[in-house]
Homo-oligomer: A and B are copies of this chain.
Amino acid sequence: MQETESIRVGICGLGTVGGGTLELLRANRLEISDRLGKEVVVSHVATRTLKPELTQDIATIGTDPLAVASDPNVDILVETIGGCDIAFELIATALAKGKQVVTANKALIAERGNELFVLAEKHRVNLAFESSVGGGIPVIRALREGLAANEIQWLAGIINGTGNFILTEMAEKQREFSEVLKQAQKLGYAEADPAFDVEGIDAAHKLTIMASIVFGIPLQFDKVYMEGISHITPHDISYADELGYCIKHLGIAQRSERGMELRVHPTLLSRSRLLASVNGVGNAVLVNGNRVGSTLYYGPGAGAEATASSVVADIIDIARQQAAGAVEPVCPALGYRNYSNKLPVLTIEDIESEYYLRIPAMDRLGVMARISSVLQSQSINIEAVIQKESSSKNVPIVILTHKVKERNLNQALATLEALEEVTGSITRIRVESFHSGTA
């Protein structure tokens, strides 16, 4: 790394995050130069659609991102194009040319980060990605540096703001999923194709990244179990509430003796936990380290300004490293130099959990006894039951189970659904019982 008079940044892509980054660098120019002792100047912008109102004072403006990667007047390349195609080629090119790179692209890091980090290491440059998880929350730094003294046992995060907004609205106003989703789309929270948010793909990208950092394992997006929130009903939320729980869409990474768990799914969470109070579009990550215990990081998980805050934090960090004379990144991208954790990622059938079950059943004498006996045959113990009087012939039986292996639960559910008394498919939601005080 070479020290220069000012830090020259090239921004590729002037969408939400790229535009936000440009604006932030302009708005907080004095604050940033007070911190760095030098100016950060945007010297080159590549944008598909020229936006003259944003780029009057930029020396070079073009449409080709690869030109930014080759520009000798760019010290740090900021990739805010998104997607995995052009962005991959662009970052790979920049790294190979020895350019420092900052990206907000969680899909790219989660799916192709292993290749890119090898390149970055080879050329001894940073590929920084704070903004890829938790928007404006500096959670990557917290996990990789702040908690570096710990063996991390588990983490659980509300890491998709759209999903959390939908569940919060459903809970507060007893509304249906599909209806709230439409509202979220109108408000601009959800994409036109909402699968990314509500099916858990976005959360799985972020979980993949965090899991590698806390466990010292390669990025393994394809091993993450994903389940969305579209099957959650206001009834489930209200039964959960009666039992003292709320329902949150969580990304969970957990270490056990048998292997690592990486999973994204709706989860019953005790209402007394701090994480249960994280509502609306807010994100939060709760982490348990073997020495520090539980810490929690909360803030805005998306939005131009919040995400740009993390992009620029990465720019400042790289500039500080350069000024201190570092000849390679101070911290390895995923925080590890040796990978001695060889534990496999477990399939979802191999995890153990407590479960919430909503069983549609006939209101007939002895039905609860038959259900109990099926559960017992798989050694599944019942912790709580809700069975309401009903005027209709069908009444849901709601059960909380003790901890059981998911494979055994699946067998029990198959047997239950075959019972004459059970009138439809059973809703199953995992219940979390972290040992972490009340965080």
Q: Which A residues are within 8 Å of any B CB, using their own CB?
A: 24, 27-28, 30-37, 130, 136-138, 141-142, 145-151, 216, 274, 277-280, 282, 289-300, 305-306, 308-313, 315-317, 320-321, 323-332, 335-341, 437-439
Contact = CB atoms under 8 A, between A and B. Distances in A.
B137 A313 contact: no
A291 B326 contact: no
B280 A438 contact: yes
Contacts of A330: 317, 320-321, 323-324, 326, 330
Contacts of A297: 142, 295-298
B337 A37 contact: yes
Contact of A30 (B141, B315, B324, B340): B340
A261 to B, nearest CB: 19
Contact of A36 (B280, B316, B337): B337
A141 B145 contact: yes
Contacts of A306: 291-293
A339 B34 CA distance: 7
A182 to B, nearest CB: 23
Contact of A32 (B149, B277, B323): B149
A142 B149 contact: no
A115 B149 CA distance: 29
21 contacts: A27-B290, A28-B150, A28-B290, A32-B148, A34-B216, A34-B341, A138-B142, A142-B142, A142-B146, A145-B316, A146-B313, A147-B309, A148-B313, A282-B437, A293-B300, A297-B297, A324-B328, A325-B327, A325-B328, A326-B330, A330-B330
B274 A291 contact: no
B305 A292 contact: yes
Contacts of A309: 147, 149-150, 289, 291-292
A34 B334 CA distance: 12
B145 A313 contact: yes
Contact of A28 (B34, B149, B296, B317): B149
Given A138-B145, A326-B326, A340 B34 contact: yes
A292 B130 CA distance: 13
5 nearest CB pairs, A to B: A138-B146, A37-B337, A295-B299, A149-B312, A136-B292
B300 A292 contact: yes
A148 B32 CA distance: 7
Contacts of A312: 148-149
Given A141-B141, A313-B147, A324-B327, A277 B274 contact: yes
Given A148-B312, A274-B277, A296-B299, 18 more contacts: A27-B291, A33-B338, A130-B146, A142-B142, A145-B313, A146-B310, A149-B308, A149-B313, A150-B309, A282-B437, A292-B305, A297-B297, A297-B298, A320-B331, A321-B326, A324-B327, A324-B329, A325-B327
A35 B439 contact: no
A298 B284 CA distance: 10
B149 A24 contact: yes
Contacts of A337: 34-37
Contacts of A292: 136, 299-300, 305-306, 309-310
Contact of A324 (B300, B317, B326): B326
Nearest to A31: B151
Contact of A291 (B33, B291, B308, B323): B308
B336 A35 contact: yes
Contact of A298 (B146, B296, B341): B296
A169 B324 CA distance: 48
Contacts of A293: 136, 299-300, 305-306
Contact of A321 (B34, B311, B316, B324): B324
